Amino acid sequence: MPCQCGLHCLKIHHIGVCLGGETLLQDVNLHAHCGELTAVIGRNGAGKSTLLKAILGELPHTGRVEFSGHGGVPSPRKPRIGYVPQSLNLDRGSPATVYDMALAFTSSYPAFLPRSRKRAEKLACHFRRFRADTLLDRPAGRLSGGELQRVLLAIATLPAPDLLILDEPVSGVDQAGLQDFYALLDQLKATDDMVLLLVSHDLDYVRDHADRVVLLDKTVLECGTPEAVFATPAFSAAFSAHPAGAQPYPGGADRV
């Protein structure tokens, strides 16, 4: 059945990023489709996080980023983008709750004013989907890594985005939190009309769950199904110590 969402495809055309005289990305081209999980992999320093920042408009770049409808025509409206970062530095001593944080990100309603019952019920209903409704009254700075990432995923999908960008979202999360988060991603892919773009170091998850894999090293080296990309010489050269089926390779943010 064809996708029924308004934005069918994220199209990246000839994206290049140069900073301080250094080329960080060159002639990057890729498509990411609605209803699919597209995973971007590559060695540390390959430009993965740089690519996400270019898509988000946080870095100057050449080329263009566009969203197209079913006929391939660029969408006339600006897409909503949800973003889940690697981590978020929160003050463990702050009294600000998850509810306060959610309100700050999703509403202009001041958090210090009395809670609107309707708004609180809406947030609780949405957070319940991510098994995070019981966290709304908890101080945000005291959440575990897995709890915080579930909260950030809930916030990033309220309201539902056209494109959900996830930048190493399980970095530092324990095994139980990892499985919970991945189950939620699988659920989103199965039920929601959005483009999911994931930067990941977890090769096992990418192999088993991604629909499309992009192997990046300042430009796109390979693109295709996990099986096809993992079988290429370029993949072996990038991850020679970590063949498919081995443990994920060491994490770490890309240098911008």
* Residue 183 DSSP SS3: helix
In order along its 256 residues, the chain shows pLDDT tens digits of 344 455 568 999 999 999 999 999 999 999 999 999 999 999 999 999 999 999 999 999 999 999 876 566 667 678 889 999 987 888 888 999 999 999 888 876 666 667 778 889 999 999 999 999 999 999 999 999 999 999 999 999 998 999 999 999 988 788 888 999 999 999 999 999 899 999 999 999 999 999 999 999 999 999 999 999 999 999 999 998 554 444 444 344 443 4
Structure tokens at 93: 């001593």
**Token pair of 55 as six digits:** 């898509």
Cα separation, 131 vs 220, whole angstroms? 36
Tokens of 132: 């995070």
Q: Position of tokens 């909260």?
A: 151
Say if domain 9-89+161-174+193-238 classifies as CATH 3.40.50.300.
yes
End-to-end CA distance of the chain: 40
224 pairs with which residues across the strands? Answer: 213
The CA radius of gyration of the chain, in Å to the nearest whole number, is: 19
For residue 122, which phi and psi values (nearest 5 degrees)? -65, -45
Q: Which residue has the tokens 């993965």?
A: 48
